[in-house]
Amino acid sequence: MGLGTYENYHRAPPAMMKFGYDAPEGVEIRGRYDGEFAAILDRDALQFVAGLQREFRSRIKYAMECREEAKRSFSEGASPGFDPATRYIREGEWTCAPVPPAVADRTVEITGPAERKMIINALNSGAKVFMADFEDALSPSWENLMRGQVNLKDAVDGTITFHDKARNRVYKLNNQTAKLFVRPRGWHLPEAHILIDGEPATGCLVDFGLYFYHNHAAFRRTQGAGLGPFFYLPKMENSREAKLWNCVFEKAEKTAGIERGSIRATVLIETLPAVFQMNEILYELRDHSVGLNCGRWDYIFSYVKTFQAHRDRLLPDRVQVGMTQHFMKSYSDLLIWTCHRRGVHAMGGMAAQIPIRDDPEANNAALELVRKDKLREVRAGHDGTWAAHPGLVPVCMEVFSNNMGDTPNQIQSMKLEDASAITEEDLLQRPRGSRSLDGLRLNTRVGIQYLAAWLTGAGSVPLYNLMEDAATAEISRVQNWQWLKYGAELDGDGLGVKVNNDLFGKVVEEEMCRIEREAGKEKFRRGMYKEACKIFARQCTAPTLDDFLTLNAYNNIVIHHPTGSSSRL
């Protein structure tokens, strides 16, 4: 990743400081100056982002207050459920706008951070779609975000290239490439390097606004067959947040002078409250929707977060909370039924296994697990799935093609009527399994290493042959927190010990030694493991659960220029 490190921020040549961004009235750019960034952050683009911010800031604030209110009520003992007030939407007969022909076939979607080489590799991977990520897979440093915008503009223009000097290899686009979706950050994340009327901008409006502003015309011409751009929308909890996105889209379309309904988005159902709002979310976005996706990792995280005050809902070891648990299967079945009833794609999620280069046997075992997961998805009725790595695209494609035949999707053919009977109890059923000291150790080791990578600019990393990103790291964090808070008994390995601060302190110490051994002394010294350990341990032992790991850690990657100081939000 390279560019997003602390050293690089501080190494910014002083000469650059004398330049400044040409910002409109009320907009202040506090991120490092760079000529390429300035082409993205031009006056008109910033005006466009500021327009979105000014029009929607009070509604965003209200939506976040509603999240707090819901949290309070869950913490007082309530459980999420279907809203009686919107029964008419769930029971009504309506459909979303027809699927755009350009993305009728989404059998395999590869995902990855909006990094230059990754973008080219992903677009060339043979997948039907590439989702460029500003969320779970990207550490939202100024450098990563702005480079991401530069890269995506070049990708949409078709001019993106990358020269790997060390390997003397030049990367460029094939003739046939995947269709591009972009995932902006969630509503909760601020962008502290852009102040609008003195306040940090909303991260997702910056990501969406800059990308839309610079690319909508080229995208619709070259990729979307007249429609687009296409987006993935993360981490929503309620249809009011979907309504907000719908209004943002309408304003963007109006400002750009393009037809209403041009922009299309797939919403990730990855919070527990949102599973009860799937019809409502699609309804709000019905002119702009192109489906829902099972964001399984954040969904598990959200299960713990939603029930943080319910001591009778402790999760078993993270590895045991898979898609075959009743509550996960019910969620995926209900999502498929809902999407097909409304005429849109029901996308599957990501298996965490990645190819293992130096061990053929382990590699085959990993591919087999991916194959099994994809087979479950396609048989259940999903229209496509996510791949974490180009090496997994052929496996995923084979499973979906073999089971779907010649059709680009199963929207019409898989109605899954049985799923209409899924109840609140099905969706909330406690996951089954056991807890172990090994589970506590793994959470700790993975959480610290992920956070250390994130602090130095890498938002998705391979750890112990699995893909780890912000969502999977969240599971490690909240699971530790929950076990500590309620003194969970670790019975899975026959030890029967209870988790407490002393045990956790020992585990942290021992796992840090293991990390140092595995990383090597030099890498460990140069890395940010100690800082990560401090943040992670503090979050796991906090009396009140922090809402998001990345929100809490964000101040550590905010670097204001020209002073070079970091700021407290």
Ligand X SMILES: CC(=O)SCCNC(=O)CCNC(=O)[C@H](O)C(C)(C)COP(=O)(O)OP(=O)(O)OC[C@H]1O[C@@H](n2cnc3c(N)ncnc32)[C@H](O)[C@@H]1OP(=O)(O)O
Contact residues: Mg ion, CB under 5 A: 136, 270, 295, 298, 471
- By beta-carbon proximity to ligand O=CC(=O)O, the closer residue of 191 and 298 is 298
* Residue 508 within binding range of ligand X, rule CB under 6 A: no
* Residue 206 within binding range of ligand X, rule CB under 6 A: no
* Residue 334 within binding range of ligand X, rule CB under 6 A: no
Instruction: State the DSSP code for 353.
Output: B
Per residue, the 3-state secondary structure of 381-442, as one string, reads: CCCEEEECCHHHHHHHHHHHHHHHCCCCCCCCCCCCHHHHHCCHHHHHCCCCCCCCHHHHHH
- By beta-carbon proximity to Mg ion, the closer residue of 300 and 367 is 300
Indicate which of ligand X, ligand O=CC(=O)O, Mg ion, none lies near residue 133 (CB less than 5 to 8 Å, by partner kind). Answer: ligand X
Task: Give residues with Cβ within 8 angstroms of 564, minimum separation 6.
Answer: 9, 10
Indicate which of Mg ion, ligand X, ligand O=CC(=O)O, none lies near residue 410 (CB less than 5 to 8 Å, by partner kind). Answer: none
- By beta-carbon proximity to ligand X, the closer residue of 136 and 383 is 136
Residue whose tokens read 């250390």: 452
Closest approach of ligand O=CC(=O)O to the CB of residue 349, in Å: 5
Amino acid code (one letter) for 465: N
- By beta-carbon proximity to ligand O=CC(=O)O, the closer residue of 40 and 473 is 473
* Residue 136 within binding range of ligand O=CC(=O)O, rule CB under 6 A: yes
Would you tell me how many other CB atoms lie within 10 Å of the CB of residue 19? 11
* Residue 349 within binding range of ligand O=CC(=O)O, rule CB under 6 A: yes
- By beta-carbon proximity to ligand O=CC(=O)O, the closer residue of 111 and 279 is 111
The whole-angstrom separation of Cα 409 and Cα 129 is 14
Stretch that binds ligand O=CC(=O)O, among 290-298, 329-337, 444-452, 522-530 (CB under 6 A): 290-298
C-alpha angle 42-558-30 in degrees, rounded to nearest 5: 35
- By beta-carbon proximity to ligand X, the closer residue of 220 and 318 is 318
Tell which one of 133, 241, 317, 373 touches ligand X (CB under 6 A).
Answer: 133
Asked if the bond preceding 360 is cis, omega within 30° of 0, the reply is no
- By beta-carbon proximity to ligand O=CC(=O)O, the closer residue of 295 and 316 is 295
Question: Which structure tokens are listed for 464?
Answer: 């112990």
Interface mask toward ligand O=CC(=O)O for 463-482; x: CB under 6 A: --------x-----------
Q: What is the largest CA-CA distance in the chain?
A: 66
* Residue 150 within binding range of ligand X, rule CB under 6 A: no
* Residue 318 within binding range of ligand X, rule CB under 6 A: no
Angle between helices 437-455 and 470-485 (to 10 degrees): 130
Task: Give residues with Cβ within 8 angstroms of 426, minimum separation 6.
Answer: 326, 327, 330
* Residue 457 within binding range of ligand X, rule CB under 6 A: no
Stretch that binds ligand O=CC(=O)O, among 189-197, 289-297, 319-327, 429-437 (CB under 6 A): 289-297
The whole-angstrom separation of Cα 119 and Cα 155 is 8
Closest approach of Mg ion to the CB of residue 471, in Å: 4
Closest approach of Mg ion to the CB of residue 392, in Å: 18
Which alpha helices (H) appear in 76-176, and where do they start and end? 87-91, 116-123, 142-157
The whole-angstrom separation of Cα 59 and Cα 236 is 14
Interface mask toward ligand O=CC(=O)O for 252-281; x: CB under 6 A: ----------------x-x-----------
The whole-angstrom separation of Cα 90 and Cα 144 is 40
Which positions are catalytic?
183, 469
* Residue 121 within binding range of ligand X, rule CB under 6 A: yes
Closest approach of ligand O=CC(=O)O to the CB of residue 386, in Å: 8
466 burial (CB, 10 Å; 0-12 / 13-18 / 19+) is middle
Compute and round to an integer the Cα radius of gyration of the chain.
23
* CA 273 remoteness from chain centre: 17
* Residue 373 within binding range of ligand O=CC(=O)O, rule CB under 6 A: no
- By beta-carbon proximity to ligand X, the closer residue of 18 and 167 is 167
Q: Residues interacting with ligand X, by CB under 6 A?
A: 110-112, 117-118, 121-122, 133, 136-137, 297, 350, 354-355, 388-390, 460-462, 467, 469, 471
